[in-house]
């Protein structure tokens, strides 16, 4: 029966293999059979169905039929092999049956002999006991197997952990070995260096020993020399005591001469300097009538001062430089300015154009400008700029320019420079400014971004008093 089942499975598998082979080799994934021509599409096609399908020209083409036949040939070959194997298996089974039959007869004979000689009740009891023992043994074996499995897993985990720890330990030992090798190498170098130094120390000790021996040899002579020096030292000590007394006397005299003192005003001569404690001869500064003067003082002689000259000393610097950026032609008013290049001392007012002297002293002023003649003229046009002092209108400097036969084109008139400069003594609070006080009516002070008009002044020497 089993052989028939196996053979049926092989046949069905053979048909299925043929159908799958055709399905895989077609261009489109469709069923190779016209199942609507079969009696039932839910069963496996039979050989008669296949013959009908092959005879139908509308179902498969020649290539597909050839593939189908090839598949059936393969299937038949496999069926033949399977049939042969089944026949071989059947022969083996028949032989096995015969052997089993002989074993059964032999067992029957042995059993009959046992039954004859042994009490069946005892055998049953013994068999039951053996069965129970066998059941217990099976249970124990199962438990032992479970424990063995657990132990095996635990042992595997422990071995894995120990292996990992061993790897880490090996790496550390290798690293330590490398460090130890490096330390040993360094130690070798250090020992070699220490050996060299030790040899040098030995040589130095030997030289020191020889030097000490030489010192011992000359020690006696040194003792005599020390005794002689002690006698000289006592003499020197007595002389030093006498010198200290003399030094104290001189120090008292010097302190009396160099003690700080004051005369209540700034020194004006070498005598004043000597009185306040100066003792070193040389150049010194003293207050003169109008300023600081430089004199040479020789404090070893009782003579008058040797005057050298004046010293430029100012309580604060004062200077300015201002410029214009556009033309100006108003008369009899201070000329204002637009740009300050420098202004130290807060003395120059750009908006009003007026300079106010912050210190009494000697000042220097300079002005440069550019006059433009606005018309062509056959007469002599002119422009006059003056430097004025205080509100009284006292003119202290003049800048005048005039030109005959001036020419003006469509772009500009003829331009001529003009300038003034002066040195003047001013008192603190005096005011100085520039103004156009005379012009021919067609002339102006020209300027633009090039800053042609510039007014500059500074304190040359400040007048100081006690």
Residue 228 binned pLDDT confidence (cut-offs 50, 70, 90): confident
In sequence order, the 6+-apart residues with CB closer than 8 A to the CB of 76 are 14
Predicted model pTM: 0.41
Instruction: State yes or no: pLDDT of 5 exceeds 90.
Output: no
CATH of the domain at 418: 2.60.120.40
Kindly state whether residues 274 and 362 are assigned to the same domain: no
Residues 425-434, mean pLDDT to the nearest whole number: 95
Structural domain includes residue 180: no
Range of the domain at 92: 2-101
Structural domain includes residue 72: yes
Domain boundary among 257, 283, 310: 310
Count up the domains in the chain and report the number.
3
Domain boundary among 69, 101, 133: 101
Distance of CA 281 to the CA centre of its chain: 62
Contact 442, 373 (CB under 8 A): yes
Kindly state whether residues 287 and 388 are assigned to the same domain: no
Give the integer Cα–Cα distance in Å for 420 and 434: 10
Residues 270-299, mean pLDDT to the nearest whole number: 75
pLDDT at 125: 86
3-class DSSP state of 389:
strand
CA distances from residue 140 to 71, 143, 185, 338 in whole angstroms, order as listed: 57, 5, 64, 120
Instruction: State yes or no: pLDDT of 277 exceeds 70.
Output: yes
Domain boundary among 310, 331, 365: 310
Contact 399, 371 (CB under 8 A): no
- Of 353, 365, 429, 372, the closest CA to residue 398 belongs to 365
Structural domain includes residue 355: yes
pLDDT at 37: 42
Structural domain includes residue 170: no
Cα-only R_g, the chain: 70
The token pair that represents 237 in the structure block: 């000590």
148-182 burial code (b ≥16 CB/10 A, e <16): eeeeeeeeeeeeeeeeeeeeeeeeeeeeeeeeeee
Give the integer Cα–Cα distance in Å for 303 and 270: 9
Give the integer Cα–Cα distance in Å for 305 and 297: 6
CA distances from residue 102 to 96, 111, 116, 326 in whole angstroms, order as listed: 10, 14, 21, 148
Contact 418, 398 (CB under 8 A): no
Kindly state whether residues 405 and 424 are assigned to the same domain: yes
pLDDT tens, residue by residue, 136-188 = 888 887 887 888 788 788 878 877 887 888 888 888 888 888 888 888 888 88
């Amino acid at each position: 029966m089993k052989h028939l089942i196996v053979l049926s499975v092989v046949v069905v598998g053979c048909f299925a293999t043929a159908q799958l082979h055709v399905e895989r080799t077609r261009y489109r994934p469709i069923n190779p059979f016209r199942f609507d021509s079969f009696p039932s599409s839910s069963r496996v096609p039979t050989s008669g169905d296949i013959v009908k399908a092959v005879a139908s020209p509308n179902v498969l083409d020649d290539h597909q039929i050839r593939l189908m036949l090839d598949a059936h040939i393969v299937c038949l070959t496999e069926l033949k092999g399977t049939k042969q194997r089944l026949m071989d298996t059947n022969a083996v089974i028949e032989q096995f049956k015969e052997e089993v039959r002989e074993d059964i007869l032999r067992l029957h004979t042995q059993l009959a002999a046992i039954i004859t000689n042994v009490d069946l009740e005892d055998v049953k009891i013994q068999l039951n006991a053996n069965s129970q023992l066998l059941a217990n043994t099976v249970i124990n074996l199962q438990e032992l197997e479970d424990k063995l499995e657990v132990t095996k897993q635990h042992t595997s985990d422990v071995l894995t952990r120990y292996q990992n720890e061993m790897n880490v330990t090996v790496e550390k030992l290798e690293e330590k070995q490398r460090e130890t090798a490096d330390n040993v190498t360094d130690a070798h170098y250090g020992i070699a260096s220490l050996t060299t130094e030790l040899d040098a120390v030995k040589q130095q000790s030997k030289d020191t020993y020889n030097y000490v021996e030489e010192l011992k040899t000359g020690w006696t002579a040194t003792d005599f020399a020390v005794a002689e020096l002690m006698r000289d030292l006592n003499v020197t000590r007595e002389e030093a005591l006498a010198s200290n007394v003399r030094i104290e006397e001189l120090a008292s005299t010097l302190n009396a001469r160099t003690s700080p003192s004051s005369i209540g005003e700034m020194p004006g001569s070498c005598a004043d300097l000597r009185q306040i404690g100066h003792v070193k001869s040389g150049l010194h500064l003293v207050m003169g009538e109008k300023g600081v003067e430089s004199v040479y003082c020789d404090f070893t002689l009782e003579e008058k001062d040797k005057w050298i000259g004046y010293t430029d000393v100012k309580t604060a610097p004062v200077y300015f430089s201002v410029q214009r950026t556009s033309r100006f032609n108003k008369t009899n008013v201070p000329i204002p300015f637009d740009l300050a290049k420098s202004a130290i001392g807060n003395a120059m007012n750009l908006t009003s154009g007026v300079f106010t002297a912050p210190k009494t002293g000697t000042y220097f002023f300079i002005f440069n400008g550019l006059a433009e003649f606005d018309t062509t003229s056959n007469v002599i046009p002119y422009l006059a700029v003056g430097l004025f002092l205080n509100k009284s209108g006292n003119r202290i400097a003049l800048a005048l320019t005039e030109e005959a036969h001036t020419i003006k084109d469509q772009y500009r008139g003829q331009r001529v420079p003009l300038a003034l400069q002066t040195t003047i003594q001013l008192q603190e609070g005096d005011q100085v400014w520039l103004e156009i006080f005379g012009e021919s009516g067609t002339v102006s002070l020209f300027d633009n971004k090039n800053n042609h008009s510039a007014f500059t002044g500074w304190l040359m020497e400040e007048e100081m008093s006690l």
